[in-house]
Chain A
Amino acid sequence: MKYISDIGSYFLMLRTVFSRPTKGSVIYELILKEIDELVINSLGIVAFISFFVGGVVAIQTALNIDNPLIPEYLVGFATRQSILLEFAPTFISIIMAGKMGSFITSSIGSMRVTEQIDALEVMGINSLNYLVFPKIIALLFYPFVIAIAMFLGILGGWVAGVQGGFTSSEAFVNGLQIDFIPFHIVYAFIKTSVFAFILATVPSWQGFYMKGGALEVGKASTNSFVWTSVLIILTNYIITTLLLGS
Chain B
Amino acid sequence: MIKVIEIHKSFGEEHILKGISTTFDKGKTNLIIGQSGSGKTVFLKCLLGLFEAEKGKIVFENKAIQDMNPDEKRDLREDMGMVFQGSALFDSMNIEDNVMFPLRMFGKRKKSDMLDRVNQVLSRVNLENANKKFPSEISGGMQKRVAIARAIVNNPKYLFCDEPNSGLDPRTAILIDNLIQEITREYDITTVINTHDMNSVMEIGEKIVFLQKGNLAWQGNNDEIFKTDNKDVTDFVYSSDLFKKIRDIQNLDQ
Contacts and interface: CB of A to CB of B under 8 A. Distances in A.
A124 B78 contact: yes
Contacts of A22: 105
Interface residues of A, number: 16
A115 B147 CA distance: 12
A6 interface: no
B84 A123 contact: no
Binding site of A, secondary structure by majority: helix, strand, loop or mixed?
A: helix
B82 interface: yes
Interface residues of B, number: 22
A115 B86 contact: yes
Scoring A23, A114, A122 by chain B CB atoms within 10 A of each residue's CB, the highest score goes to A122
Contacts of B185: none
Contacts of B104: 23, 25-26
Nearest to A116: B88
A122 B78 contact: no
Contact of A122 (B77, B91, B106): B77
B77 A123 contact: yes
Interface in A99-127: 110-111, 114-116, 118-119, 121-125
Contacts of B89: 116
Contacts of B90: 116, 119
Contacts of A111: 91
Contacts of A26: 104-105
Contacts of B219: none
Interface of A: 22-23, 25-26, 110-111, 114-116, 118-119, 121-125
B220 interface: no
Contacts of B193: none
6 cross-chain pairs, A with B, having the tightest CB-CB distances, nearest first: A124-B77, A115-B88, A119-B88, A122-B82, A115-B84, A124-B74
A77 to B, nearest CB: 47
B91 A123 contact: no
Nearest to B75: A124
Contact of B50 (A25, A114, A121, A125): A121
A119 B162 CA distance: 12
B215 interface: no
A154 to B, nearest CB: 38
B31 interface: no
A118 B105 contact: no
A23 B85 CA distance: 27
Contact of A125 (B48, B105, B160): B105
Contacts of B50: 118, 121-122
Contacts of A122: 48, 50, 77, 80, 82, 160
B88 A114 contact: yes
8 contacts: A25-B104, A26-B104, A114-B91, A115-B84, A122-B160, A123-B77, A123-B80, A124-B76
Given A122-B48, A122-B80, A116 B105 contact: no
Contacts of B101: 123
A133 to B, nearest CB: 15
